[in-house]
Amino acid sequence: MRDFFEEQLKALRVRSLDRHLREICSAQGAEIETGGRRLVNFSSNNYLSLANDPRLREAALAAIGEFGVGGGASRLISGTQSPHLRLEGALAKWKGTEAALCFSSGYAAALGTIPALVTKGDVILLDKLCHASLIDGAKLSGAILRVFPHNDLGKLEGHLQWSHGEHAGKRILIVTESVFSMDGDRAPLRELIELKKRFGGLLLLDEAHAVGVIGPNGRGLAAAENLNKHVDVQMGTLSKALGTSGGYICSSRNLIDWLINRARSFIYSTAPPPAIVAAALAAVDFLASPEGEERRLLLWKRIRLMQEFLPRSELNKTSSDAYSAIFPWIVGDEQAALDLASALQSEGFLVPAIRYPTVAKGSARLRITVTAAHQDDQIRALCEAIKRLSAKL
């Protein structure tokens, strides 16, 4: 009998779409060890370099001393330990909402929350470049799913009109991100909120790549634009700038209580480990402190430096101002992106090639992320290498 999986894998390889794991033999940071070498790491979402921060490590160790390592049960059974409630209190305060709820990942937050908000017969309007977790949550809900072209307010308005005509009286949920994970650009939040108010409906904003990066004390795009009160559901993750693991939803007390009763990925999954929760709380406390704000401003110095040194060609075509810590170098061809990634790796840089289905076919790219921990000369050296390589293309 022929091996089905072997054939499928071969088909992936032929199209340069096969993926492989890479062993990292060190903690996360501006430099990591892999394959017996140290590489400068421009691949992670550890924007503030908190993943191996002594404050977070100490918080985790102290929590292990007090609470051990396991959550024991689902949060609704006996898994809600003091760190969980402390973290949720701190998140709500930081985000300026009535309440917050944590999940074991951002993916689980999306998968549990969207189906709790809308169901069969309701309508979800989702930006084309939304993260897989949002798409999967939308599909799982059973609601009618309409995708609008990226940041296209005219098309969104058309969809809203259509929803009102064809699905009068049904709930409408608009889903988008504040910073798009593979493109690094932002949603036009103010205009989105205007539309939402005109037509009615709920807005879920995924702030995964904005928290810790954008807004006062890294509170995200909604806070930066003073629109917190108008975003019904603020989603985020503790696993990127906050350096740990887990997802969260910040919203009204009623909506959070509803999630506690209806979000299946919350109800039917063991509580996140107390040590990780305690580390995440230390990260939120850090961000809210003057030192945290200093770290965030340092990140923006690095972002501006990257903006300044990157070749002006494909990269940086957007505008004179960077939107986030994510810089996509869109190459197009999948194999070309892989070749560039390995050329950069032989020069000592880890920059991932992002391919279909993470991005559209034929829009493969190198996704460069900068962090507060990068040194100026590391950024300069990367940009020089990119210049050399792109001249050869």
Question: Which parts of this chain interact with ligand PLP (CB under 6 A)?
Answer: 105-107, 131, 133, 177, 181, 206, 208-209, 237, 239, 247
Copy the structure tokens of residue 272.
Answer: 């996140």
Tell whether omega for the bond before 357 is within 30 degrees of 0, i.e. cis: yes
Q: What angle do CA 137, 135, 264 make, to 5 degrees?
A: 10
50, 44, 21, 20: which is closest to 32 by C-alpha? 44
Catalytic residue among 84, 95, 159, 240: 240
Q: 3-state DSSP helix/strand/coil percent for the chain, to nearest 5?
A: 45, 15, 35
Dihedral angle over CA of 212, 213, 218, 219, nearest 10: -90
**Known catalytic residue: 84?**
no
How far does Cα 353 stand from its chain's mean position? Answer: 17
**Known catalytic residue: 342?**
no
85 phi and psi angles, rounded to 5 deg: -70, -35
28/378 with CB nearer ligand PLP: 28
Find the shortest distance in angstroms from Cβ 175 to ligand PLP.
11
Find the shortest distance in angstroms from Cβ 218 to ligand PLP.
16
- Beta partners for 324? none
DSSP string for residues in 264-325: HHHHTSBPPPHHHHHHHHHHHHHHHSHHHHHHHHHHHHHHHHHHHHS-SSSTT-S-SS--SS
Catalytic residue among 181, 245, 265, 363: 181
Find the shortest distance in angstroms from Cβ 239 to ligand PLP.
4
181/369 with CB nearer ligand PLP: 181
Question: If you search the block for the tokens 């060890």, which residue do you land on?
Answer: 33
Find the shortest distance in angstroms from Cβ 234 to ligand PLP.
12
- State the alpha helices, DSSP H only, in the chain: 4-14, 54-67, 82-95, 106-117, 132-141, 153-166, 189-199, 221-224, 253-262, 264-267, 274-288, 290-309, 334-346, 376-392
105/217 with CB nearer ligand PLP: 105
Find the shortest distance in angstroms from Cβ 178 to ligand PLP.
9
**Known catalytic residue: 131?**
no
Find the shortest distance in angstroms from Cβ 272 to ligand PLP.
11
Distance CA 100, CA 243 (A): 19
Catalytic residue among 178, 209, 239, 251: 209
Q: Is 246 helix (H, G, I), strand (E, B) or coil?
A: coil
Question: Closest residue (Cβ) to ligand PLP?
Answer: 106
Residues annotated as catalytic are 181, 209, 240
